[in-house]
Chain A
Amino acid sequence: AQSVAQPEDQVNVAEGNPLTVKCTYSVSGNPYLFWYVQYPNRGLQFLLKYITGDNLVKGSYGFEAEFNKSQTSFHLKKPSALVSDSALYFCAVRPFDYKLSFGAGTTVTVRA
């Protein structure tokens, strides 16, 4: 069973508008949660992570994510999207073993 889900294959927003990329997980306890971004023909780049503490995590390039334990969600947000934010975004979760599970990815397109 997949432990992390990204319900939207694609997200389209206008430049300057808020951007949200959704992620939900289905592991018990307190998993570690990550967001990565992938640009064409490149490997993934780390954006941010949640381990414990404040539910709002700030990361690279103006991104932030909100951890919601009751809804088992870890949505990625950016208040004002840029065209250069267009990329493929992956949510990842580490349960209690040493594996890392990734979601299927969400393609973000920001139009000028």
Chain B
Amino acid sequence: EAQVTQNPRYLITVTGKKLTVTCSQNMNHEYMSWYRQDPGLGLRQIYYSMNVEVTDKGDVPEGYKVSRKEKRNFPLILESPSPNQTSLYFCASSFSINQPQHFGDGTRLSIL
């Protein structure tokens, strides 16, 4: 089954404790992206990747890092999480930016 898998689905943690949210897709997609969803703001793009070893900032990259060492994986790293990063996060992938994106089911992060 074609899918984008995010882990964990839920996480409660404390300020400053490094965390990684994993994202994996099995569709051989080249384009991958991370978004955060906040009430009234819709989805805002954090980082995206056009292909392996090619990443770039989206609209809200501050406080986040990503890497794309393999085509299927695109982890999101919060080196020193802060409460304003409490949000619902989505990973998505597609063959290209012009093609529809497939979304994971989301990761709800709470930073205390």
The chain A residues found within 8 Å of chain B, CB to CB, are 6, 9, 32, 34, 36, 41-46, 49, 51, 90, 92, 94, 98-105
Contact = CB atoms under 8 A, between A and B. Distances in A.
B103 A94 contact: no
Interface string B42-62: 111100101000001011000
A44 B90 contact: yes
Contact of B42 (A34, A42, A104): A104
Interface of B: 4, 31, 33, 35, 40-45, 48, 50, 56, 58-59, 90, 92, 97-98, 100-106
Contacts of A6: 42
25 contacts: A34-B100, A36-B103, A41-B105, A43-B4, A43-B103, A43-B105, A43-B106, A44-B90, A46-B100, A46-B102, A49-B100, A90-B43, A94-B97, A94-B98, A98-B48, A98-B56, A99-B45, A100-B45, A100-B97, A100-B101, A101-B45, A102-B44, A103-B42, A104-B41, A104-B42
Contact of B58 (A32, A51, A99, A103): A99
A99 B48 contact: yes
Nearest to A59: B100
- Main secondary structure on chain B at its contact with chain A? strand
Contacts of B102: 46
A36 B100 CA distance: 9
Given A42-B105, A43-B103, A101 B59 contact: yes
A100 B33 contact: yes
